[in-house]
Amino acid sequence: MSLHLSGAPNGLPWLADDNMVKWQAQVMAYLHWKQLAQYVLGWSCHLVPTALTTLSASNALVPALVMSYNTTFVRWEADYNEWLLKDSMAMGVIQGTLCGQYLTYVSQCATSKDMWDTVLGRLKTQNLGLAAHNTKQLM
């Protein structure tokens, strides 16, 4: 039995050179089931919450503006923490199915969307290279 059929954590397949379609379909189905796919796909409501700008020195002297800013900051911080948790979970699902060179490709990714796009981009590049090689062999 080959390595990629033995299953990564969560029963998902390991990504290997010969199972890209199966890997992509099963990982995405799992992400949908866990309600994390929207983070990987980059839905606008599930992107990193935009950081707040700080109050200017003059606005920091107006109590009503300070109170409003603090309320907004608390809401932003809660949104960001929830986003970070869910995005980290999605990253863990993807990373948990990778080994070898694929882990190297995603080591600098900051979000699950970056990770997903990086893996799929590498796979497309590899498949184009393989197609070119096969075409040369036929000529």
Q: Which residues contact 106 (CB under 8 A, 6 or more apart)?
A: 94, 95, 98, 114, 115, 118, 119
- The domains of the chain are located at 23-133
Q: Tens-of-pLDDT digits for all 139 residues of the chain?
A: 344 445 676 789 999 878 888 999 999 999 999 999 999 998 877 778 888 889 999 999 999 999 999 999 999 999 999 999 999 999 999 999 998 889 999 999 999 999 999 999 998 887 655 444 444 545 4
DSSP state of 6: S
Q: Which residues contact 76 (CB under 8 A, 6 or more apart)?
A: 49, 51, 52
| Rounded Cα–Cα distance for residues 104 and 65 (Å) | 46
pTM of the model: 0.78
pLDDT above 70 covers a percentage of the chain that reads 85
Kindly report, residue by residue over 89-110, the tens digit of the pLDDT.
999 999 999 988 899 999 999 9
Average pLDDT score, the chain? 85
Q: What is the DSSP secondary-structure string of 63-118? A: HHHHHHHHHHHHHHHHHHHHHHHHHHHHHHHHHTT--THHHHHHTT--SHHHHHHH
